[in-house]
Amino acid sequence: MVLFLFLAHLALGIVFTLAFVSREAGVKFFRFNAGLAAILLAVAFAFRPADAGATAGGRIAFAALLVCEAAVVLYWATVGRALARIRPAIAGTAIASGLVALVAQALASSAGVADHALTIASFLSSAALLGGACTAMILGHWYLIIPSMQVAHLQSLVKIHIASMVVRIVVVGAAVFVAMVTWEPGLGPSFRSYITSLNGIFFWQRVLFGLAGPALLSYLTWETAKIRSTQSATGILYVDFFTVVVGEVLAKYLLLATRVPV
């Protein structure tokens, strides 16, 4: 389930982020990223647990992911070729179905109104953070292929990545706060006791690698992008993406282990 959620969110994040990339990046850039998203979704389906469709939310999420996969594959097959007029509709279908899938997954993974809202926010911010980091890293590398491309495109995507990072930190902070203040005696171990126990090492690793690390690295990326050092920015983005991946994998594990959408 951890790998299923992680791969699905990464793929959907890439699909969402492509809407913010300039056409100047070229046909091959969009085709590469669309193909990557399609492959990640296909692998996610392979890791989908057998009981993931036991709830209505799980079945809706599966159907929405199938629609998204079909739309992304069609987008990949047509980008730079025929059907140019309907390509925005194809991309819009992929984004809309991806959003439905994330919301349905969140509803299937939580219980209670407050938990629903926090888990939806967690899944959306997770996909945005993963997609922003991955697409920014690939766009930075693309300057080796198209050296004449304006640096402003990378700067814009880094801004989006930083914004998604801020939103992710706020959502995690809210989830931790709600988990602590809503705990009542008799409901089992509190989240406070969990994060101060030996098992809490997973939470602190999640905070260190998935929040503090990317926050610092995204700022360094912005500073290097401002001075038009695309190679340095790309190198930092590679490390940034790795820390985001580690943090979000741990976040999925913590959600399943503690029911707290961090």
Domain that holds residue 185: 2-258
Residue 189 has pLDDT above 80, yes or no: no
* Contact partners, residue 75, CB within 8 Å, separation at least 6: 30, 34, 87, 90, 91, 94
For residues 172 and 156, give the distance between their C-alpha atoms in angstroms, rounded to a whole number. 25
The answer to whether 119 touches 261, Cβ cutoff 8 Å, is yes
Q: At residue 91, does pLDDT exceed 60?
A: yes
Query: Which pLDDT band, with edges at 50, 70 and 90, does 258 fall under?
Result: confident
Q: For residue 61, give Cα distances in angstroms to 10, 105, 115, 176, 258.
A: 15, 6, 18, 26, 22
- Yes or no: say if 38 and 73 are a contact pair by the CB < 8 Å rule: yes
Q: Which residues contact 148 (CB under 8 A, 6 or more apart)?
A: none
Alpha-carbon distance values, 255 to 23, 95, 102, 119, 168 (Å): 37, 24, 15, 9, 15
For residues 90 and 45, is the Cβ–Cβ distance under 8 A?
A: no
Buried b (16+ CB within 10 A) or exposed e, 55-65: eebbebbbebb
201-224 mean pLDDT = 94
Q: What's the average model confidence in pLDDT over 22-34? A: 92
Is 239 exposed, middle or buried, given 0-12, 13-18 or 19+ CB atoms closer than 10 A?
A: middle
For the CA atoms of 125, 131, 135, 138, what is the dihedral angle to 10 degrees?
120
Indicate the number of domains in the chain: 1
pLDDT reported for residue 113: 56
Quote the pLDDT of residue 62: 94
pLDDT tens, position by position, 60-87: 999 999 999 999 999 998 887 766 678 8
Q: Mean pLDDT over residues 175-190, rounded?
A: 76
Q: Which of 17-21, 43-47, 48-52, 162-166 has the lowest mean pLDDT?
A: 48-52
* Helix segments in the chain, DSSP class H: 2-18, 27-47, 56-78, 87-108, 113-142, 151-181, 191-195, 201-207, 213-226, 230-258
pLDDT tier at 152 (50, 70, 90 boundaries)?
Answer: very high
Position 14 scores a pLDDT of 97
Q: Global pTM?
A: 0.94
Q: Look up tokens 């988990």; give the residue.
A: 179
Separation CA 138–CA 191 (nearest Å): 37
CB atoms within 10 A of CB 205: 14
The DSSP code for 242 is H
Round the average pLDDT of the chain to a whole number and report it.
91
pLDDT score of 254: 93
Average pLDDT over residues 136-157: 92
Give mean pLDDT, residues 90-113. Answer: 90
